[in-house]
Amino acid sequence: MSHLLFIEANDSTHQSKSLSSQMNNAFLASYRKEHPEDEITILNLFEERLPFFDLRLAKSAAKLFRGETLDQEEAEQAERLQEYLNRFLESEKIVFSFPMWNLSVPAPLHNYMDYLAQSGQTFHYTAEGSVGLVTGKRVLLLHSRGGDYSTPDKIESDHAVRYMQDILQFFGITDVESIILEGHQQYPSQAAKLIEKALSSCEKAGMDF
Ligand SMILES: Cc1cc2nc3c(=O)[nH]c(=O)nc-3n(C[C@H](O)[C@H](O)[C@H](O)COP(=O)(O)O)c2cc1C
């Protein structure tokens, strides 16, 4: 039995029929069918409402990891961070589902990645530079964006998938696959086909992941 952590950074609370939800449903339905014994945890970052990561929290977390005494407020926040971090570290298979927002990822996802980026836990620094500490994970990115960023003139503007790949690599995670639905708003006449293709890739990924 494996444990799948499915991290959603889609504001599905305020948009019930989003494309991201359709991609998630296509993946999860076939995953559940193919891996009935697996445990799945769904973490909806728009619902979690994690406190904004700041240096006070960073310092509290560092104190917690060093085994130092924390005051009550520091302890509450740092222990919450540790729970999210542990859940991530304990999962063998992880899916991130997120749309592009303003060329990047939605803020709750960036905030969550800041929670995970803890020195001594997911990476550490050496004289040769940073070294990732997370091994043995398989990650899938499910991503959608209205524009087409696959062309040479636009590829540099993708700070969503490229950011996720970079930060995961910074943690040491190299087994990262992705399914990208893009261009459905830029090319309305092709939208139906692009969506159908992406949903079928999600369904297939659910079987193979
Ligand atoms: C706040 C906001 C910002 C967006 N920024 C971009 C963007 O920079 N580039 C882009 O291609 N699409 C952008 N989009 C469009 C979404 O990425 C696109 O509709 C995507 O498929 C998300 O779909 P969903 O919300 O139905 O899951 C944005 C949408 C919203 C709501």
* Residue 66 labeled ligand binder: no
Q: Reply yes or no on whether the pLDDT at 209 is more than 90.
A: yes
DSSP-assigned letter for residue 207? H
* Residue 147 labeled ligand binder: yes
203 strand-pairing partners = none
Expressed in angstroms and rounded, the spacing between residue 127 Cα and the centre of ligand 1 is 40
Q: Is 79:64 a contact under the CB 8 Å cutoff?
A: yes
Expressed in angstroms and rounded, the spacing between residue 16 Cα and the centre of ligand 1 is 15
- In whole angstroms, what is the distance from residue 83 CA to residue 196 CA? 37
Residue 75 confidence (pLDDT): 96
Q: Reply yes or no on whether the pLDDT at 6 is more than 90.
A: yes
Domains detected in the chain: 3-208 (3.40.50.360)
Q: Is 201:179 a contact under the CB 8 Å cutoff?
A: yes
DSSP string spanning 63-106? HHHHT----HHHHHHHHHHHHHHHHHHH-SEEEEEEE-BTTB--
Which protein residues are within 6 Å of ligand 1, measured from CB? 10, 15, 18-20, 99-103, 144-147, 185
Expressed in angstroms and rounded, the spacing between residue 189 Cα and the centre of ligand 1 is 18
181 strand-pairing partners = 144
Q: Spell 79-106 as b/e; 16+ CB within 10 A means b.
A: ebbbebbeebeebebbbbbbbbeeebbb
* Residue 146 labeled ligand binder: yes
* Closest protein CA for atom 4 of ligand 1: 101
> What integer is the mean pLDDT of 72-99?
97
Q: Reply yes or no on whether the pLDDT at 97 is more than 90.
A: yes
> What integer is the mean pLDDT of 74-87?
97
* Residue 194 labeled ligand binder: no
* Closest protein CA for atom 22 of ligand 1: 99
Q: Taking the alpha carbons of 91, 95, 97, 98 in that order, is the dihedral positive or negative?
A: positive
Expressed in angstroms and rounded, the spacing between residue 104 Cα and the centre of ligand 1 is 10
Residue 14 confidence (pLDDT): 74
The band of 1, judged by pLDDT with boundaries at 50, 70 and 90, is confident
Residue 12 confidence (pLDDT): 76
The pLDDT tens digits of the residues spanning 160-197 come to 999 999 999 999 999 999 999 999 999 999 999 999 99
The pLDDT tens digits of the residues spanning 123-145 come to 999 999 999 999 999 999 999 99
- In whole angstroms, what is the distance from residue 9 CA to residue 111 CA? 11
Pocket test for ligand 1, best of 13, 100, 180 (most atoms within 8 A of CB): 100
* Closest protein CA for atom 30 of ligand 1: 101
Q: Reply yes or no on whether the pLDDT at 15 is more than 90.
A: no
Q: Of the candidates 47, 42, 49, which has an alpha carbon nearest to the alpha carbon of residue 12?
A: 47
131-134: long-range contacts (C-beta < 8 A, 24 or more apart)? Answer: 131/172, 132/169, 132/170, 132/171, 132/172, 132/173, 133/171, 133/172, 134/89, 134/171, 134/172, 134/173
